[in-house]
Amino acid sequence: MNRITCAAVAAILTVSTALPALAAGCIAPAEARAMQVRQLHVQLQVASLNCRGDDPSLPGKYASYIHRFGGPLTDNAKVLRGHFAKNGGNMDRYMTVLANDESQRAHLVDGYCESHTPLFDKLSALKPHDLEHFASANVDKPDRTICGSAPVKQASAETKPKAKAKKAEPTG
């Protein structure tokens, strides 16, 4: 195999082995929320590095975020480590894939810095226990079924005719 083919195969194997726990079955709601918190964390990390030319205060804001939400981030890491431990996954690879994907978005998506910079100010107004809710509201859910969630039903376009109202009979 040539170098490009080897590199492509290696990249595919890395991604496929990084996410085996997500590929099989469903994830618990707490694990889904933990993944959203971690995705938000990575977004902030990447934005603080890639957008500091537009806003030199971002590295300091990121440090404040880490200080303010240190406890919830530690709890979040425990949930993720538990998820990957019981599902045979590798959290380090998962985190690498998240960071690499987010870094690519920072360079490819127009307006990346404009959309991510305000997150720092929004987070600075929150209490530490609000981090998970904020992430759930602002970060897409993982691309996996959440255990216990009802399957989505496709709405039917069919309509049934309304029953005809009975006419009142004249009384005589």
For the chain, domain boundaries: 27-138
Length of the chain in terms of residues written:
172
| 27 vs 143, higher pLDDT | 27
Q: Tell me the percentage of the chain whose pLDDT exceeds 90.
A: 62
Burial of 138 (0-12, 13-18, 19+ CB in 10 A): middle
Measured distance between the N- and C-terminal CA atoms of the chain, rounded to whole angstroms: 97
The mean-pLDDT minimum among 10-24, 69-83, 84-98 falls in: 10-24
Q: How far is CA 160 from CA 36, 157, 167, in A?
A: 42, 10, 21
Three-state secondary-structure class, residue 143: coil
Of 51, 66, 41, the C-alpha closest to 124 is 66
pLDDT of residue 129: 96
- When pLDDT is averaged across residues 21-30 and rounded to a whole number, the result is 70
The answer to whether residue 116 scores a pLDDT higher than 90 is yes
Distance CA 35, CA 99 (A): 13
pLDDT bucket at 17, cuts 50 / 70 / 90: very low
Distance CA 123, CA 44 (A): 10
- When pLDDT is averaged across residues 36-58 and rounded to a whole number, the result is 95
Token couple for 55: 């806003």
